[in-house]
Chain A
Amino acid sequence: MLKDITLGQYFPGNSIAHRLDPRTKILLVVLYIISLFTARGLVSYALIAAVLAVCIKVSHVGLRPMLKGMKPVLFIMVFTGLLNLFFTPGERYLIEWGALRVSDTGIKNAVFMVFRIMMLIMGTFLMTYTTSPIRLTDGLEALMNPLKKIKVPVHELAMMMAIALRFIPTLIEETDKIMSAQKARGADFESGNIFQKAKALVPVLVPLFVSAFRRADELATAMECRCYAGGEGRTKLHVLKYAGKDYIALACGIILLSGIITLRKLGI
C-alpha cells in the first residue's frame, strides 16, 4: 500500500553511524559527493566503493534496504547508462548497428556513470537510514545558522520541514484509512478512464483536506499554548555537540577527499 514507500526511511539502531552528530553526517555526505565527482580513474572509484562498503558494514543497516531504496531511480540509471553507452564518441567502435554505435569510451563512461549514481544514492541513503528526520532537520538548521545573517529564515524553514516530516506518515496513513472506508461503501478507484478516476478521488480528498486543516489548526493552538513565538531566543532540549568520534569521522572524510584529489592528479 501507500505506506510501502521507503524513500529515505529511518532504520532505528545504535551503531556508530547512528550515534554520529547529524551535522557530521551531513558534512561527510557533502565530502563524499565531492569526492565522487572528483574521481576519474578506476583506483579512485575502488577507493570510494571500499569506504562506502565499510560505512554500510558499521551502520548495521544491511545491503538489502540499500538496494531496495534504489528501485525508484532504477529507470534514471538505466536511461543514463544507455545514453552514455550509445552516444559517446570514441576512437574504436566495438559494435555498429545503424545509428547506434558502441565505442570503447562509451562502455567505460556508461559503467562509471551508473556506478556513480549508485554510489551517490547509497551514500545519501545511508545518512537518511541512520538519522531520524528530526535530527537531520536539527543538523541542517545548525549548519545553515550563519545564513541568518543574510536574512534567510533558517529557523522557520527548519520548523516547516520538521512539521512536514512529522505529518507525512500520518497523512499517508489517513489516506489509506479513508480510501478503505470509501471502498467499504462501494467506491471504485481502479476502473474507468482518467476523468472517472479523478472524480472517484473526491470522496477521499475532501475528508483528507478537512482533517489536514483540522490537524494544522490543532497543532497551531498546541504550539501557541506552549508559548511558541518563533526561533528568537529559543533554546534546544537536545543540544548538538561534537564528540571525539565526530572529529575522527570528519578527518577521515577530509583524508578521503584529499586522497581522491591526489589520485586525480595522477590520473587514476
Chain B
Amino acid sequence: MKPILEVKHLTHTYSAGTPFQRSAVEDMDFAVNEGEFLGIIGHTGSGKSTLIQHLNGLLKPTEGQILLRGKDIWEEPKKIREVRFKVGLVFQYPEYQLFEETVYKDIAYGPTNMGMTGDALDHAVREAARLVGLRDDQLEKSPFELSGGQKRRVALAGVLAMEPDVLVLDEPTAGLDPAGRENLMANIRDYHRNKGKTIVLVSHSMDEIAQNVDRILVLKSAHVLMQGTPEEVFARGEELITAGLDVPQVTRIAMALQRRGLPVDPAVYTVEALEQQLQQLRKGGTVC
C-alpha cells in the first residue's frame, strides 16, 4: 500500500528553554496509507492532539519531518495553506469555531478560502451538509441556535466541504450521547466508504476504534507504543491494560474466559467473532 502521509522522527517540545519545557511528542515514526482508516488511541496527555496538529502544519516539528505524498510539507512554508486544504483537521470540541450568521455561510468558509465560488461552492456546501446529516432548512439557521450535537455536525461539514484527501478527526464524538455518537460515526464511515478518502480518527474509546478502523496506532507518554491491525493490537491486550489503556469490552470478556482456562483467542473485538468462537467450543464439547 502506498503511504499518503509519513511521520519521520517527529519530536515536538512545548516552551523549549523555559522551566516549563516538555516534550509532548518524541521520536514518532509511522505512516498513514492511502485510503485507509487509521485509529489513534492513547491516554489523556499522551500527545495525540499535538501529533495531529503536525499533520496539517498547524504546529511545526521541533525535530523530524512530515511527508505528504513524499514531499516535506515545510519545504515551502508559504504554501502551507495548500497542505491544510489537503489534510482537513477537525479539532476537539470544534463547535466553538462557528462564527457566521448562518450554517450555510459557516460551512462555506473553508471552500471560499480555497477560492471556490458559484455552483462549485454551493455544491460542496450542500454535499457536506448532506454527508453529516443536516437538513436543508437548518442551513439557513444561525449556528448559535443549534444544539451541541448539531453544532458539532456543522463544524465537521465545514471541513468536509473542502474535500480533503486526508480527514483528521480529534475525538469527534466526545461529549455526545450514545445515539449521537453512533450516528456521527456512521456519517464518517459513509464518507470513508463512498469517497474512498483517508481518515485518521483520534479517540478515547477502544470500542469505537475497534468497530471502525483498519489499523491502530497506540500512543503512550509521547511515544508510539504499538501499531497494527486491530487483531494484532488486541492480541497484546494485557500489555495495553498495563499501559493504563482499555481494550474493547468483548476482548476483555475473551481475556477473562482465557484466564479461567477456556481455550479462546483473546484477539477478538466484535461480538460476532467471540460468539463464533464460543459456538465452536460448544460443538467441540468443551464445557462453557
Q: Which residues of A does B touch, CB under 8 Å? A: 4, 11, 174, 177-178, 180-188, 202-204, 206-207, 210-211
22 A-B residue pairs with CB within 8 Å: A11-B19, A177-B96, A178-B97, A180-B91, A181-B94, A184-B56, A184-B84, A185-B97, A185-B109, A185-B113, A185-B158, A185-B159, A185-B162, A186-B84, A186-B113, A186-B162, A188-B81, A202-B99, A204-B99, A206-B99, A207-B97, A210-B144
Q: Which of A181, A202, A203, A206 contacts B91 (CB 8 A)?
A: A181
Q: A177 CA to B59 CA in the complex, in Å?
A: 12
Query: Is the Cβ of B96 less than 8 Å from the Cβ of A178?
Result: yes
Q: Which 4 A-B pairs have the closest CB atoms?
A: A186-B113, A206-B99, A185-B110, A181-B97
Query: How many contacts A-B (CB < 8 Å)?
Result: 57
Q: Known contacts A182-B97, A184-B58, A203-B99; can you find 13 more A-B pairs with CB under 8 A?
A: A11-B19, A177-B91, A180-B58, A181-B96, A183-B58, A184-B88, A184-B159, A185-B109, A185-B158, A185-B159, A188-B81, A203-B109, A206-B99
Assess whether B97 is in contact with A186, with CB atoms less than 8 Å apart. no
Q: Does B210 contact A (CB under 8 A)?
A: no
Q: In the complex the two chains form, is B99's CB within 8 Å of A186's CB?
A: no
Q: Which residue of B lies closest to A188 (CB)?
A: B81
Enumerate chain A residues within 8 angstroms of B98, measured Cβ to Cβ: 207
Across-interface contacts of A178 in B (CB, < 8 A): 96-97
B114 within 8 A of partner (CB): yes
> B53 at interface (Cβ–Cβ under 8 A)?
yes
B184 surroundings in chain A (CB, below 8 A) = none
Which residues from A are CB-within-8-Å of B94?
Answer: 181
Interface residues of B in 118-168 (CB under 8 A from A): 144, 158-159, 162
* Contact A186/B91 with A203-B99, A207-B97, A207-B98 known, Cβ cut-off 8 Å: no
Taking CB as reference atom, which chain B residue is nearest A209?
B99
Assess whether B104 is interfacial by the CB under 8 Å rule: no
In the complex the two chains form, what is the Cα distance from A186 to B112 in whole Å? Answer: 9
Q: What's the Cα separation between A181 and B113 when bound, in Å?
A: 14
Is B58 a contact of A187 with CB atoms below 8 Å? no
Number of interface residues of B (CB under 8 A): 25
Cα separation A180 to B90 with both chains bound (whole Å): 10
A183–B81 Cα gap in the complex (Å)?
Answer: 8
Q: A181 CA to B27 CA in the complex, in Å? A: 25
Residue of A nearest to B53 (CB): A180
- Complex: A180 Cα to B96 Cα, angstroms: 12
- A210 and B95 CA atoms in complex are apart in Å by 12
User: Residues of B contacting A185 with CB < 8 Å?
Assistant: 84, 97, 109-110, 113, 158-159, 162
Q: Is B202 an interface residue (CB 8 A)?
A: no
Contacting residues, chain A, for B58 (C-beta < 8 A):
180, 183-184
Which A residues touch B159, using CB under 8 A?
A: 184-185
- CB neighbors of A among B150-192 (8 A): 158-159, 162
Residues in B with CB closer than 8 Å to A181 are: 91, 94, 96-97
By the criterion CB–CB under 8 Å, are B110 and A186 in contact? yes
Chain B residues, Cβ within 8 Å of A211: 96
Report chain A residues within 8 Å CB of B110: 185-186
Q: CA–CA, A11 to B113, complex, Å?
A: 42
Chain B residues whose C-beta falls within 8 Å of the C-beta of A4 in the assembled complex: 15
**Which of chain B's residues has its CB closest to A62's CB?**
B19
Q: How far is the CA of A203 from the CA of B99 in the complex (A)?
A: 6
A5 to B110, CA, bound (A): 30
The reply to whether A186 and B81 contact each other, CB–CB distance below 8 Å, is yes
Assembly CA distance A205 to B37 (angstroms): 35
When distances are taken between beta carbons in the complex, the residues of chain A under 8 Å from B91 are: 177, 180-181, 184
- Closest chain A residue, CB of each to CB of B109: A185
B89 at the interface (CB under 8 A from A): yes
Give the residue among A183, A185, A202 with the most B Cβ atoms within 10 A.
A185
- Bound-state CA distance A177–B113 (Å) is 19
Query: In the complex, A11 Cα to B18 Cα: how many Å?
Result: 11
Cβ-closest chain A residue relative to B98: A207
B269 close to chain A: CB less than 8 A: no
A221 CB to nearest B CB, Å = 18
Considering the complex, give the chain A residue whose CB is closest to the CB of B57.
Answer: A183
